[in-house]
Structure 1
Amino acid sequence: MTLETKEQMIGALALVLLLAVLGFMNQSRDVTSGTDGRIRVDALFGRVDGIAPGAEVRMGGVRIGKVAAQRLDDKFRAVLTLNLTDGVMVPNDSSASVQTDGVFGGKYIVLEPGASEQGLKTGDLIAITQDAQVVGDILDLIISQGRAAMEERRAAAETTAGQTK
């Protein structure tokens, strides 16, 4: 095999790999582009910190869609457009919340099914929502509760020490 033939084969292999990667990337975008075979609904939130288009939508721990878009409405509330897999019946009185995979994990939307027998359909609005919790706020709460518990223990120890004298 000549050097020129080897170079041509390596070039062809690189081209095939590039096309495979591009094909995979295009295939993984199918939920956010278009609505073929999908139910497209909006969910209204006060804040959606950390959620971006492409974030997962889950129900019962199973991925049933992705966040397609986000925008502000005329009252400055966050509106997320969700593309849900067609064929998954999501009751139309379901609620949505922003959740986090652990302390440093990514954020996603969780749908909690309601009791209605009618399912969501394209154009519906999920109005019952729980906003994103900011990690800093949660840490502040934990620290303040820890300090309060330490103060209670210190006061109890001082009381006990004063009674034994």
Structure 2
Amino acid sequence: MHDTQQQRRLTVLSGPSGVGKSTVVAHLRGQHPDVWLSVSATTRKPRPGEVDGVQYHFVDDEQFDKLIAADELLEWAEFAGNRYGTPRQPVLDRQAADAATLLEIELEGARQIRRAMPDALLVFLAPPSWDELVRRLVGRGTESPEVIERRLAQAKVELAAESEFDVTLVNTSVEDVSRELLALMNVS
């Protein structure tokens, strides 16, 4: 009976930079487009192929400051010199509609969600190994050596936070992780 099932929990996917969060989410949504993915606001400039309102809502620093001041962000954090945040109202609307809702955010944002919405399910996406994570970060080819160094240092901090999460999934296969994540979200 569907009506006796508890309301779907907000699912938060986090993990170190370069672990493959975006790839997993893209695959998952390809299989299940009904899973709603929150679109973050960011002060970062678009990468080639990114579209405003699809991958991110691209805003400038002044617009981001206004979102914070108006308490319109569920969480926000600065990462690699840019700010990222989750618009509050769309998430609350989807939760109220009992929709499968997914946030893909960085560690600090996940911690803020834990405080703001204690019943959210926090999922940590871990790399198969440190060497593999380094290979992915360096292999991206989109960042300068300084940014890569910053990201690697940050990744060490992020990996150390794994115990703060409810569940860990190791990203050995995008298909496997997507399937496991859908199961955690009660999406069949």
* TM-score normalised per structure 1: 0.22
Rg larger for: 1
Q: Which has the higher contact order (CA 8 A, sep 6+)?
A: 2
* TM-score normalised per structure 2: 0.20
Q: Which has the larger strand fraction?
A: 1
